């Protein structure tokens, strides 16, 4: 009962004799002491990885069990950590906490902002081992590498033609569906690609 009351009152009765930091619970102090000694008290029985706190071990063990106790109320997607769920929920709310100081563009996750900022700095961390071309994002490098490997993972279910990018497959499928989303405002003629529409519009000039 005493431990609970100190948590709610904010009292920090347990003090680290090394750095003077205070803790409400003695268990938190014990975990903190490991940061000075290098000792890790909690060991994972599956992979042997060690942690300072039982809570850290519990979160880690979800990697092995596949447990995802934090569920999104909008789409039902599950997450191993609460922080991941909170970040995901911004997809539904549209909240963009991370703003680019250069152009003001907002992002749901800090990692997306960091990747975007390379557009302004020109930094290209991800280099192709084949040709040396640099990319601001790992995903762009992986897509590019298909030029060298010949891999075409996106297959058309109608004719079996393969594509290096999903966007290319979706564009191709319009040939089969007859969909022509790009319409000329002058004559109403439809086109599969925006580039075809731009070429056509020169007829009216």
Task: State percent of the chain over pLDDT 90.
Answer: 8
Distance in angstroms (rounded) separating the CA atoms of residues 80 and 66: 8
- Report which secondary-structure segment, H or E, holds 183: strand 182-183
pLDDT band at 179 (very low <50, low <70, confident <90, very high): confident
Of the pLDDT bands very low, low, confident and very high (cuts 50, 70, 90), residue 66 is: confident
Residue 110, pLDDT above cutoff 50 = yes
Burial class (CB in 10 A: 0-12, 13-18, 19+), 202: exposed
The partner residues of 42 in beta bridges, in order of sequence, read 51
Give the span between the Cα atoms of 61 and 44, in whole angstroms: 7
With cut-offs at 50, 70 and 90, classify the pLDDT of residue 78: confident
Q: Look at residues 55, 57, 81 and name the one whose alpha carbon lies nearest to residue 67.
A: 81
Mention every residue, 6+ apart, whose C-beta is less than 8 A from residue 1: none
Contacts of 30 (CB under 8 A, 6+ apart): 41
Long-range contacts of 26-30 (CB under 8 A, 24+ apart): 27/54, 28/53
- What's phi and psi for 98, nearest 5 deg? -100, 110
- Return the pLDDT at 60: 83
Residue 55 DSSP label: H
pTM of this structure = 0.39
Residue 74 has what DSSP assignment? T
DSSP code of 165?
S
């Amino acid at each position: 009962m005493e431990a609970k009351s100190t948590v709610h009152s904010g009292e920090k009765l347990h003090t680290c004799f090394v750095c003077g930091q205070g803790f409400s619970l003695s268990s938190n102090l014990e975990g903190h002491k490991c940061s000075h000694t290098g000792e890790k008290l909690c060991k994972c029985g599956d992979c042997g990885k060690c942690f300072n706190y039982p809570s850290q071990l519990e979160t880690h063990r979800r990697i092995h069990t596949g447990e995802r106790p934090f569920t999104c109320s909008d789409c039902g997607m599950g997450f191993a950590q609460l922080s991941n769920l909170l970040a995901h929920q911004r997809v539904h709310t549209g909240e963009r906490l991370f703003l680019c100081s250069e152009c003001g563009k907002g992002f749901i996750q800090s990692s997306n902002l960091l990747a975007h900022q390379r557009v302004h700095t020109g930094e290209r961390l991800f280099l192709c081992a084949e040709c040396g071309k640099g990319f601001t994002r790992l995903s762009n490098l992986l897509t590019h590498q298909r030029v060298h490997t010949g891999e075409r993972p996106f297959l058309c279910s109608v004719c079996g033609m393969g594509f290096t990018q999903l966007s290319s497959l979706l564009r191709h499928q319009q040939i089969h569906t007859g969909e022509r989303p790009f319409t000329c405002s002058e004559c109403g003629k439809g086109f599969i690609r925006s580039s075809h529409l731009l070429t056509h519009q020169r007829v009216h000039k």
